[in-house]
């Protein structure tokens, strides 16, 4: 079902974004605009929207989230999420997405620009010349060629900076405790301890995320270990380089210069660091290129489309699991449906649930299938919107212990997904499904130990009873009298005259009264319906 088949979701654009953002959203949404930086305007504007797109000026905190009763996704057109309360969003079941790779090229290029500008004293020389001064000797700089640059943080941006500076003929070393030496060596980078990097580098460029562990990482102690001719660049996050410690090092001649795009407190329009002619500063311009803004807008627009279509979003920051392999994706919808069938069969929430994944897809990260199972399990149980974000929280609140079990061996199916759980009274429930053929059709292949083979449909029913002649005919007759057409039927039994299970797919919903008639007619031990189109 496309988004145009129902009331169009409302997307609030709370800051100025690239025109490509709206184009990427397409015609399926009602687009509204507001000034997110104006709190009095934001709070009422967010009340009935499904998604909000922001940059850095809009603060989406607990108060804003509480006011946004229909909100499903917060999309930050950029990398940092300092202005989003991710914990509060998670508790509210709101997905938070960003554009983690949109500005990496722009940020890397700015870091190199700051390094070059600092090395060659470009801003100071520019200002001097515009004042009518010709002071060539005063603004003598240093070359990059054959110098050592220390990259602090060898993530995506750090790698791009390393590649660009290597092209200048620099010796590149890096500090990153989460990167293997072999991977760094493949890029022509030698890993070093932080102390070794500080002592050996002629230039230091910082590319770390801001965390409690990285705040103040380059502080007074570290700045007593560097060469006096070192130039330090920070285009990552303010506070990683201690500004007071840097001021003291510059004042005492222990650091030769600095290039800063970020500050501990922003906006920063007055700092002791501004008094130094050998400090080059810019107002957090790392992502401020037309290309980066366009990439960010398009990326989050695509994420919003996915989120509001009920699909998992790879760039969601508050959803468990990592990048989803293409071979795993078709199993997400199947697993969610198995979760809804499981709950219908169980008649409530289990105390313990195993999500068993078998077959070829187990070579990939299948953590997302555990999430999909939980989303399905709770979809028809709680009144609130169930999402990939809050499903684990719902499980924890209700004491449901969930476990992901994987096994590459799957004798009967290429891939098999089974939900197996135990109820409070000790009763066990299981349901299994698979995908078949080129079209990856969803099939139900097992219910509580009974082998079945039935294609999943919008309306399903399951009955167990003592095997005897005429039961199937009675089921068909009652459904026919109720004008309910049977699309598919599978009968399975443990032995002749023993326990039997009928699995039905029908074209329309089976009303409770009709199900009661069937239950009485065949003396069913259990009778359950599942409506997957809701």
Digit-by-digit pLDDT tens for the chain (534 residues) are 444 445 789 999 999 998 899 899 989 899 999 999 999 999 999 999 999 999 889 999 999 999 999 999 999 998 878 899 988 998 888 989 988 888 899 999 999 999 999 999 999 999 999 999 999 999 999 999 999 999 999 988 999 999 999 999 999 999 998 788 888 898 899 999 999 999 999 999 999 988 788 999 999 999 999 999 999 999 999 999 999 999 999 999 999 999 999 999 989 999 999 999 999 999 999 989 999 989 999 999 999 998 887 667 877 888 755 457 778 888 998 999 999 999 999 988 889 999 999 999 999 889 889 989 998 998 888 766 677 777 888 888 888 999 999 999 998 899 999 999 999 888 999 999 999 988 889 999 999 999 999 999 999 999 999 988 999 999 999 999 999 999 989 899 888 878 999 999 999 999 999 999 999 999 999 999 998 875
Judge whether 184 and 172 are in contact, CB under 8 Å.
Answer: no
Task: Mention the CATH class of domain 3-102+291-308.
Answer: alpha beta
Whether 468 is catalytic is: no
- Its CATH class, for the domain covering 104-281, is alpha beta
- Domains of the chain by residue range: 3-102+291-308, 104-281, 330-531
Q: Do 104-281 and 3-102+291-308 fall under one CATH topology?
A: yes
Q: Are 164 and 114 in contact (CB under 8 A)?
A: no
Instruction: Name the catalytic one among 55, 76, 207, 237.
Output: 237
266 is catalytic: yes
* Residue 414 annotated in active site: no
Tokens of 404: 């992901």
Kindly compute the dihedral angle of the four CA atoms of residues 292, 297, 301, 307, in this order, to the nearest 10 degrees: 70
Instruction: Please tell me the distance from the alpha carbon of residue 242 to that of residue 271, in angstroms, as a whole number.
Output: 13
Measured CA to CA, the distance from residue 50 to residue 305 in angstroms comes to: 11
Rounded Cα distance between 113 and 235, Å, is 10
**Of the residues 121, 207, 284, 528, which is catalytic?**
284
SS3 category, 376: helix
Q: Measured in whole angstroms, how far is the alpha carbon of residue 67 from the centre of its chain?
A: 23
* Long-range contacts (CB closer than 8 Å, 24 or more residues apart) made by 318-324: 318/86, 318/89, 318/90, 318/95, 318/96, 318/389, 319/95, 319/371, 319/388, 319/389, 320/367, 320/368, 320/370, 320/371, 320/392, 321/365, 321/367, 321/368, 321/371, 322/365, 322/367, 323/365, 324/365, 324/368
Q: Do you find a cis peptide bond into 177, omega within 30 degrees of 0?
A: no
Instruction: Check if the beta carbon of residue 21 is closer than 8 Å to that of residue 52.
Output: no
**Alpha helix stretches (DSSP H) within 326-455:** 330-346, 367-379, 391-397
Catalytic residue among 41, 221, 266, 455: 266
Architecture of 330-531 per CATH? 2-Layer Sandwich (3.30)
């Amino acid at each position: 079902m496309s988004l145009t088949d129902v009331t169009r979701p409302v997307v609030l654009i709370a800051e100025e974004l690239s025109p490509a953002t709206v184009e990427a959203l397409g015609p399926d949404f009602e687009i509204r605009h507001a000034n997110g930086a104006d709190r009095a305007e934001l709070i009422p504007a967010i009340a009935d929207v499904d998604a909000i797109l922001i940059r850095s000026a809009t603060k989406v905190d607990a108060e804003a989230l509480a006011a946004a009763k229909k909100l499903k996704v917060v999309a930050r057109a950029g990398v940092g999420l300092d202005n989003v309360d991710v914990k509060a969003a998670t508790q509210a079941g709101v997905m938070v997405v960003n554009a983690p790779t949109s500005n990496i090229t722009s940020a890397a290029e700015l870091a190199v620009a700051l390094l070059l500008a600092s090395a060659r004293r470009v801003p100071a020389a520019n200002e001097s010349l515009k004042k009518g001064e010709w002071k060539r000797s005063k603004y003598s700089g240093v070359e990059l060629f054959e110098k050592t640059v220390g990259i602090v943080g060898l993530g995506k941006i750090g790698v791009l900076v390393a590649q660009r500076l290597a092209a200048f003929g620099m010796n590149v070393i890096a500090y990153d405790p989460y990167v293997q030496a072999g991977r760094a060596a493949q890029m022509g980078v030698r890993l070093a301890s932080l102390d070794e990097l500080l002592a050996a580098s002629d230039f230091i460029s910082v590319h770390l995320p801001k965390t409690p562990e990285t705040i103040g990482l380059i502080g007074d102690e570290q700045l007593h270990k560097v060469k006096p001719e070192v130039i330090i660049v920070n285009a990552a996050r303010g506070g990683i380089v201690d500004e007071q410690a840097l001021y003291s090092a510059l004042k005492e001649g222990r650091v030769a210069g600095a290039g800063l795009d970020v500050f501990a407190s922003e906006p920063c329009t007055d700092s002791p660091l501004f008094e130094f002619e050998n400090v080059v500063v810019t107002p957090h311009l790392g992502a401020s290129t037309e290309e980066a803004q366009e990439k960010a807008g398009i990326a989050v627009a695509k994420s919003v489309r996915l989120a509001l279509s009920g699909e998992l979003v790879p760039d969601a920051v508050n959803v468990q699991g990592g990048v989803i392999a293409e071979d795993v994706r078709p199993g997400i919808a199947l697993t969610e449906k198995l979760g809804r069938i499981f709950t219908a069969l169980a008649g409530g929430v289990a105390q313990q649930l195993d999500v068993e994944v078998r077959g070829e897809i187990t070579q990939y990260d299948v953590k997302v299938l555990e999430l999909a199972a939980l989303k399905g399990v709770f979809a028809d149980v709680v009144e609130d919107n169930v999402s990939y974000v809050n499903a684990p929280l719902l499980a924890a609140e209700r004491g449901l212990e969930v476990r992901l079990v994987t096994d590459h061996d799957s004798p009967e199916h290429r891939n098999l997904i089974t939900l197996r759980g135990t109820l409070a009274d000790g009763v066990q429930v299981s349901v299994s499904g698979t995908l078949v053929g080129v079209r990856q059709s969803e099939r139900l292949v097992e219910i509580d130990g009974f082998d079945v083979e039935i294609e999943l449909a919008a309306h399903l029913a399951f009955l167990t009873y003592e095997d005897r002649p005429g039961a199937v005919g009675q089921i068909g007759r009652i459904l026919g009298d109720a004008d309910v057409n049977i699309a598919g039927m599978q009968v399975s039994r443990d032995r002749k005259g023993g326990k039997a299970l009928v699995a039905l797919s029908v074209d329309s919903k089976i009303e409770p009264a009709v199900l009661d008639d069937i239950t009485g007619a065949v003396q069913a031990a259990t009778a359950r319906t599942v409506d997957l189109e809701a």
